[in-house]
Amino acid sequence: MTKQQITILIGLGAAVFLVFCGLVSLVLSDQMTLGQSAEATRPAVVLATRTATLTNTPTVTPTGTATPIPTPSPTNTRVVTNTPVLTPTPAFSVSDMAYVPPGTFTMGSTEADVARALDLCNEDASDLDCERYFYEDEIPQRTIYLRGFYIDRHEVTNAEYCRFLNEMGNQEEGGTQWLDIAAAGDVWYYEGCKIIVSEGQYRPRKGYEDHPVTHVTWYGAKAYCEWAGKRLPTEAEWEKAARGTDGRIYPWGNTFPQDGTKVGNFADENHRTVQFIELIKGYDDGYRYTAPVGTYPAGASPYGVLDMAGNVSEWCDDWYAAYQGSTFGNADFGTTYRIRRGGSYVWGRPSIRTSARSRERPEVAGGDSGFRCVVSED
Ligand SMILES: [Ca+2]
Ligand SMILES: [Ca+2]
């Protein structure tokens, strides 16, 4: 082989090598392009699929973003993959609300009030050793100024809560769903949940449309109010709406009627057939469990707010905390319990007083737990 032939062969070899390298480069380039393309076009809807698992705790605080309201789902397994935005739907009307004007009112109880509450307990209670400390968290009595606000005249009903659920679903918050729809009746005190899923919609059980919703958590109450363009009342707002400015014991006045006037739904003679803690002997309000909201106009508060004593106990926005100036120590004060007010159909006179305080963990959906909403005046 001549030197010239060797040179030609080396040239051909180099050319073949260069072509080979080019082809390898092209193949790798295509693979990268394909990979990037596949990544870029991975359908974003996967994040929005309604079969994904709930991975975030829904917040009901409007974010102000343009995120659309999730499509309503009638099932109890509705899945949330984005933060719900609770635009008021429908816009509320203050025609169903009572106006509480700005000004001061008397909040809390005196030592004498607590002594009287203890007497009531001893008269109404069964299987319960009445103690002064039950009521000491109401002390001291103070004068509080509040701005004007509107408050729902009625407790929120099963029918109203169904409209909310059919739009927003029964979401999980605080580790539990807003409504404990599977709650069964309690053999001692409570009825089960009166909302069911039927034909793909949340519906009240027949005959319970205008009864107050029960088995709702604090989160579920708060979410409803914000969906409705309102908010939960503070504890002070609730007490002022219940007792007005004269420091009265009950919404209708200072004494429980002895003439049979029906002023609210409490643990009455209808409740005697089940085990009770307190019971107003000789009183008949006609209901063993919940009554339709607004059944007792004679029990209205000075502002015309109904069922502020009894029927269902009502969630307030506040944590259970010591009043300013209180010397009462309670391990439950803090950020574990939210306030509930007004007593319910399972409580008697000491617990339905306008100043009586009760509390529950916000994720608990009790059989007598309901609520109503407020809006600020401006
Ligand atoms: Ca009753
Ligand atoms: Ca009530």
For residues 141-154, average pLDDT: 98
d(CA 116, CA 129): 15
Ligand number nearest CA of 242 is: 2
Q: Ligand 1: distance of its center to the CA of 344 in Å?
A: 9
Note whether 151 and 372 are within 8 A (CB): yes
The rounded mean pLDDT for the chain is 82
**What's residue 61's pLDDT?**
38
Strand partners, 231: 374
What is the band of 271 on the pLDDT scale with cuts at 50, 70, 90?
confident
d(CA 295, CA 304): 13
Note whether 179 and 220 are within 8 A (CB): yes
Ligand number nearest CA of 291 is: 1
Higher pLDDT, 301 or 378: 301
In degrees and rounded to multiples of 5, residue 273 shows phi and psi of -75, -10
**What's residue 64's pLDDT?**
34
Out of 64-68, 187-191, 219-223, 329-333, least confident range: 64-68
Ligand number nearest CA of 343 is: 2
**What's residue 87's pLDDT?**
52
Ligand number nearest CA of 268 is: 1
Domains of the chain: 108-376 (3.90.1580.10)
Q: Ligand 2: distance of its center to the CA of 342 in Å?
A: 5
Measured N-to-C along each axis, helices 218-227 and 158-168 cross at an angle, to the nearest 10 degrees, of 80
Out of 69-73, 106-110, 249-253, least confident range: 69-73
Ligand number nearest CA of 264 is: 1
Q: Ligand 1: distance of its center to the CA of 69 in Å?
A: 40
For residues 39-68, average pLDDT: 33
For residues 130-141, average pLDDT: 97
Percent of the chain scored above 90 by pLDDT?
70
For residues 311-331, average pLDDT: 97
| Secondary element (H or E) of residue 138 | none
Q: Ligand 2: distance of its center to the CA of 369 in Å?
A: 9
What is the band of 34 on the pLDDT scale with cuts at 50, 70, 90?
very low
d(CA 43, CA 20): 37
Q: Ligand 2: distance of its center to the CA of 80 in Å?
A: 32
Note whether 183 and 367 are within 8 A (CB): yes
For residues 348-377, average pLDDT: 97
Higher pLDDT, 60 or 97: 97
**What's residue 5's pLDDT?**
54
Alpha helices per DSSP H over 69-201: 111-124, 158-168
What is the band of 4 on the pLDDT scale with cuts at 50, 70, 90?
low
For residues 163-182, average pLDDT: 97
**What's residue 259's pLDDT?**
97
Ligand number nearest CA of 370 is: 2
Note whether 301 and 251 are within 8 A (CB): yes
Ligand number nearest CA of 368 is: 2
For residues 137-156, average pLDDT: 98
Q: Report the 10 Å Cβ neighbour count for 1.
A: 7
Q: Ligand 2: distance of its center to the CA of 180 in Å?
A: 19
Burial of 143 (0-12, 13-18, 19+ CB in 10 A): exposed
In degrees and rounded to multiples of 5, residue 269 shows phi and psi of -60, -25
Percent of the chain scored above 70 by pLDDT?
75
